[in-house]
Structure 1
Amino acid sequence: MRTLASAILGLLAVLLTAAAFCGAWLNTNVVTESGFVALGAPLAEDEAFQRELASSLATEAAASADVPEPLADLVTPVITSAVENVQALPDYPEAWSESLRRSHALTFSAENGGEPSGNLTLDVAPLVGLVTETVGSELNVDVPAPEQVPVQIGGAGHPDLLRNVERAGEAWPVLALAAAAAAILALLTARRRSTTFALMGLGAALAGAVLWFGAERIPEQVSAQQFSSPVASAFANAFAGQAAASLSAWTVALMLAGAAVFVVGLLLRGLSAARR
């Protein structure tokens, strides 16, 4: 009976550890603003995304300029040139980071009691502002920058997904404490504690391996989704690639930690056997 109880508690500890691990990753890299910005920062260098983004920036910059039809042929080349060179501007990295901060605020809004306000939304207003500033400087006129340029990334069902992501991110400390409690109880009820300790480590390593395979499939799953525009699709795919790489790195750490616990458990079992 004690062996069965210990096995159940050990399995529960492993499952709770995996859940806490996922929640911690989500909280660190998606739910918190700093993590979201850090995860999305490399997209400023992603060529596929930047190509699609350039088209959107040109459209929004032209709308902000509000150029009369007779002058459109004169202004359009200036806007095109500004968009093509916007990435080379010294302020571009900070403008992209500000876009990510605004996007996070729009997506994980506190207006509804801390729950996401809707779909994943990308606000590229700071980037459009860079373009309009360049255009205004070239034409020697004041071109107002828009306050918001939201690009809807998510589709149907995504608001519920975002709510679950935020809840999972916030729940990870509780899950971690529950995992620790289950592990302690498993050891207390075990007949051979060193064996139980080793098996829980093995379970954690296997959980890490499963999560690693899951992380590697994130880009594939995202690319199969339908998005509202080419820029939304490019952002989602590029961001998914960054998320997969980050989560994979985390899972390697989990596998190594689990393997270390497994080895320690085996050593303790060997020492215990040698004393008999």
Structure 2
Amino acid sequence: MRFLAALLLWLVTTIALAAAVPGLWAQLNIVDENGYAALAADAARDPRLQDAMADELATQVTELGANRGYPLNPMVARMAADSYTRNSGFPGQFAQANRIAHRWVFTGAVPSGNSTDQWLVDVAPMLSDPSFAATLGHLDLQVPPTLTVPITVDAPELRPGKLRVLATWGPWIAGVVTVAAAVLALLTFAAARSRGKAVTALGVSALLVGAGGRAGIEVGRRYVTDALDRTTGNIRTVADVMVGSAEHSLQHWLNMTVLMGFGLVVLGVLSAALGSIVLRDKASQ
């Protein structure tokens, strides 16, 4: 009976851990605004994203100049944009732009100048950077306070505050699932006859979660690609790099879970072996 109880607890613990690891990662890196901004700043160091944003910013500054009566050379505008996206301040400003986009989908906050329900990113702070002025000369482009670029095509299922429920309940759900996984692991350890075997079993749970999570990433990539197809222009490349950065972050968490599982398996095997030796010595006395 005790074995069956321990086995049932182990199964439930494995399921809870499989929900806790990606759930906690998503809460800290996607749902949480600061975590998402940090993810965006990390992605902004990728040359592919820098090139795509440079192309988009060059297009925007050229159009802005034409509207102000300054026919800018596109090559000069691109040089200014390249210089900007490769300086140390770009990741921070890119992260700030993504904060605004994050609020749009998670809280429903609509930036000024957004007259549609499209998901937009504000590039005005980037175009106002001194590096543009230094490269373009003394042109007074008068960058408006807000200059938004659509991230996605207009789609009925993408509306402000679409993920507000996750922003509200995500922290609670992630916390409850994580605590539940920890409590179930302790109960499994307490219910098992052999502590060493219990530790080994919990290590196997971590190994299964880590390996299963990596397989889940591969399966989910097709759905992510479908979502990326909703993005437009250079933002498609930007979104692709950000998704890649998110995948790399999640894979790191899963790798750490696998390493933790491997460590628990080794510890459990050693503990079980040592316990067997102790029992044998006691029996021989």
Normalised to the residue count of structure 1, the TM-score between the two structures is 0.78
> Normalized against structure 2, the TM-score is what?
0.76
Percent identical pairs in the alignment equals 26
5+ unaligned residues in a row in structure 2: which ranges? 111-116, 281-285
2:137 counterpart residue number: 138
Post-superposition offset of 1:66: 6.1
Alignment of 1:87 onto 2:56: no
Maintained 8 Å contact 1:198/1:263: yes
Map of 1:270 onto structure 2 = 273
Q: Which residue of 1 aligns with 2:214?
A: 212
Unaligned runs of 5+ in 1: 113-117
Map 1:81-230 → 2, pairs under 5 A: 81-88=79-86, 91-109=89-107, 121-130=120-129, 134=133, 138-141=137-140, 143-153=142-152, 157=157, 162=163, 166=167, 167-215=169-217, 221-225=223-227, 226-230=229-233
Output one character per residue of 1:18-63: Cα deviation in whole Å (capped at 9) or x when no partner. Answer: 2111122112222233322222224334344344333432443345
Counterpart of 1:239 in 2: which secondary structure?
helix
1:211-231 per-position Cα deviation (integer Å, ceiling 9, x unaligned): 123335665543344224122
186-195 or 233-242: bigger deviation: 186-195
Q: Could you tell me how far apart the structure 2 residues matched to 1:56 and 1:141 are?
A: 20
**Take 1:91 and 1:201, find their aligned partners in 2: how far apart are those partners?**
43
**Could you tell me which residue of structure 2 aligns to residue 255 of structure 1?**
258
On the 8 A contact 1:132/1:144 being kept in 2, the answer is no
Counterpart in the other structure of 2:241 = 238
- Cα gap change, 1:215 to 1:6, in 2 (>3 Å): same
Tell me the SS of whatever aligns to 1:144.
coil
> Size of the alignment, in residue pairs?
268
Letter in 1 for 2:128: G
Cα root mean square deviation, aligned: 3.5
2:113 maps to which residue? none
Classify the secondary structure of the residue corresponding to 1:54: helix
Measured after TM superposition, the shift of residue 242 of structure 1 is 0.6
Measure the CA separation in 1 of the matches of 2:94 and 2:177.
Answer: 34
